Structure 1
Amino acid sequence: MPTRDTTRTGEPCWADLMTSDPARAREFYTRLFGWTASDSGEEYGGYVTFRLGDADVAGMMGQDADSDRPDAWTTYLAVTDADATVAAARDAGAQVLAEPMTMGDMGRMATLLDPSGAAVGLWQPIEFTGFGRIEEAGTPVWHELNTTNYAAALRFYESVFGWTPVSLSDTDEFRYSTVGPDGNQVTGIFDASAHLPHEVPSHWQLYLGVTDVKAAARRVDELGGTVLHDPWESEFGTFARVADPTGAVFVLGSVDRPSVDQQNVD
C-alpha cells in the first residue's frame, strides 16, 4: 500500500474538515470511505482523526456555534518553520488568518489567505507528520488550487514554498500547472477565473480516491450528500465533484488500487 514515510517542505501533508455537524459528517465519511474515527479529547479541542486501517488519512473539527463560515476542507502544506513561513507569506501578499500555534506535541500550525483569496494551512511537524497513506481508495490522491488570479498564485507559491511550476496547458480555455518539491508533482494550480461563479472564491480542492467513481457518486447521494458535477472522464481518470450533507465540497477521483480496508464498506 502507498505509505508516506517522510514529508517534504511545501508538500500537501494533511487535510481536515471544518463542519457544523460533526456527528453527521462522521457517519457520512466513515460509511463512504470505510474510515474509522478517533476522538482526540479535550486537549486538542475534540479534534477527530479519520483512519483507514491503522493509517491517519484526514481530520475533522466542529465549527463554533456562532461561525458564519461555510463548511469546508482545508489543505495543509508542510513547512520546517511555521513562523518564518508566515513572515515570508505576509511579505508576499498573504493575509494571516491564524498565527502559528503549537498543538501539544504534534506540531505547529497556521492558516493563510493567499494573494488570490484561497485559504491554506501550514503544518510544521513535531511528532505528527501527516498522511499515513495516499494514492489509493479511501485516501487523498490529489490537491488542487482553483484560483481566480493564476499569475499571482504562481508567484506566491514559487516565492514562499520554492515550488517550480510545470505548465500542463497555457491557453485561455485551459491554463494549468503542476507543482511540487524536488520535481515530484503532487499539486495542481488551475486558472479558474472563467469557471468559478462570481460568489465562489479561490480555494484549495481535495481529491479522495475511489475505485468506482460512478458508484461512489451514487453512494454520496444515498448518504445525504450532493453530486455537484456528474462523473466525467479525462486522460487522468474519472472524477466527480460532490458535497457532503452540510455542503463541504471535495472531488472523487478514480484509482486502480483497491485498499483492503475499503472492500467491506457499508
Structure 2
Amino acid sequence: MAAWAEGTPCWVDVSLPDLAAGKRFYGELFGWTFGEDRGAQRAHYTDAFSEGKRVAGLYAKQDGRMPTAWGVYFATDDAVALSARIRDAGGRMLGEPMVLGELGVMAQATDPAGAVFGLWQAGEHTGFEKKDQRGSFCWTEVYTRDKESVDPFYERVFGFRGTDLPDSSIDFRVWALPGTGPGADRPVGGRSVITDAFPVEMPGHFLSYFSVVDCDETAATVVRLGGRVTATPFDIEYGRMAVLSDNQGASFAVVAGPEPKPDQRPGTE
C-alpha cells in the first residue's frame, strides 16, 4: 500500500543550477533545514525539513537544458500500472519507472498538453511528513491551454472528480479524490486555463503552493533574497496569496490564512 491514496500530491522538489544557493534561499525563506547530500550519482539530492519533518527536496541540475523548476509527484501503489494508464489516456512517459534503491520508485510523465508531473511509489521514503501546515506544501494546480484534453486525462488517470469553480472570473476546475459518506470527496488540486494575460510562449505547467504566516512579508523576503514577485499579494477566498520566483528562477506560490485542512483548497492564481 502507498503511504498516500493514489492521486494525492505526496512530494515536491526543485531542480537548481546552484544547490548551495537554493539551500540558503529556502532556509531563510521558510526556515527549512537540510538532510544529507545523496551524492553526485543522485544529483546531490537533499531533503528539506520543517520542524524536523520532511517537506521537500532540492537537487542540482545535471544538464543546462533542464528547467529550473518545482515539480510535483502524485502517489501510486504501482508506478508501472499507472504509467500504462497515462499512455492509454493520451499522456507520455518520460522514461520507464526508476527504482531508487529502498527509497521507492519514481517516474515522470506529461499530460496531453505537455505539463510535466511525477509519480512516486513509496518505499522507505514515504513523501511528505508535514503538509498543509506553515512552511510546507498545501496545494498544486496545472495551467494549460487545452482543457478539453487535459480535464478527462487527469480524471481518467487518477480517478479525480472534477468540478468547475462557479461564479469565478477564471476558468478553474477543482480535482477531488472520491471519499465515503456525504461530502467526503477530498480536494487535492486543480486545473486553470492559461489566458492571454500570460506570455504566448508559456507552456503547460504545474504551480505548487506553500503555506506561510504572512504573504506580504514572504513576498518582501523573496525580493530581499534575490527572487522576484510574479503576482503581487492579493486576497482570495482562502486568505492571501502571491506567485513568486526564487533567486534562480523557479516559480512557486504562497498562501496565508487559517492553516489549511487536508480537505481545504487554498486558492488559485
Taking structure 2 as the reference length, what is the TM-score of the superposition?
Answer: 0.89
**What's the % identity of the aligned pairs?**
35
Aligned residue among 156, 159, 162 for 1:162: 159
Equivalent position of 2:148 in the other structure: 151
Q: Are 2:238 and 2:257, in contact at CA under 8 Å, matched by a contact in 1?
A: no
Aligned residue among 168, 187, 190 for 1:188: 190
Aligned residue among 203, 206, 209 for 1:204: 206
Which is bigger in relative contact order (C-alpha 8 A, separation at least 6)? 1
Q: Whole-Å Cα distance in 2 between the matches of residues 170 and 237 of structure 1?
A: 18
Determine if the alignment matches structure 1 residue 124 to structure 2 residue 121. Answer: yes
Taking structure 1 as the reference length, what is the TM-score of the superposition?
Answer: 0.90
Q: Whole-Å Cα distance in 2 between the matches of residues 36 and 197 of structure 1?
A: 35
Equivalent position of 1:99 in the other structure: 96
How far did residue 256 of structure 1 move? 2.8
Q: Are 2:43 and 2:61, in contact at CA under 8 Å, matched by a contact in 1?
A: no
**Count of matched residue positions in the alignment of Structure 1 and Structure 2:** 252
Which runs of no fewer than 5 residues in structure 1 stay unpaired? 259-266
Runs of 4+ with deviation above 3 angstroms = none
How far did residue 109 of structure 1 move? 0.6
RMSD: 1.8
Say which is worse superposed, 41-50 or 234-243, in terms of deviation: 41-50
Q: Are 2:211 and 2:259, in contact at CA under 8 Å, matched by a contact in 1?
A: no
Equivalent position of 1:61 in the other structure: 59
Tell me the SS of whatever aligns to 2:174. Answer: strand
How far did residue 70 of structure 1 move? 2.5
Tell me the SS of whatever aligns to 1:185. Answer: strand
Q: Whole-Å Cα distance in 2 between the matches of residues 195 and 96 of structure 1?
A: 30
How far did residue 44 of structure 1 move? 3.8
Equivalent position of 1:87 in the other structure: 84
Deviations 1:9-55 (A, max 9, x none): 00100000011111111100000000001124236442110000221
Q: Are 2:3 and 2:122, in contact at CA under 8 Å, matched by a contact in 1?
A: no
Tell me the SS of whatever aligns to 2:161. Answer: coil
Q: Whole-Å Cα distance in 2 between the matches of residues 93 and 257 of structure 1?
A: 37
Determine if the alignment matches structure 1 residue 233 to structure 2 residue 235. Answer: yes
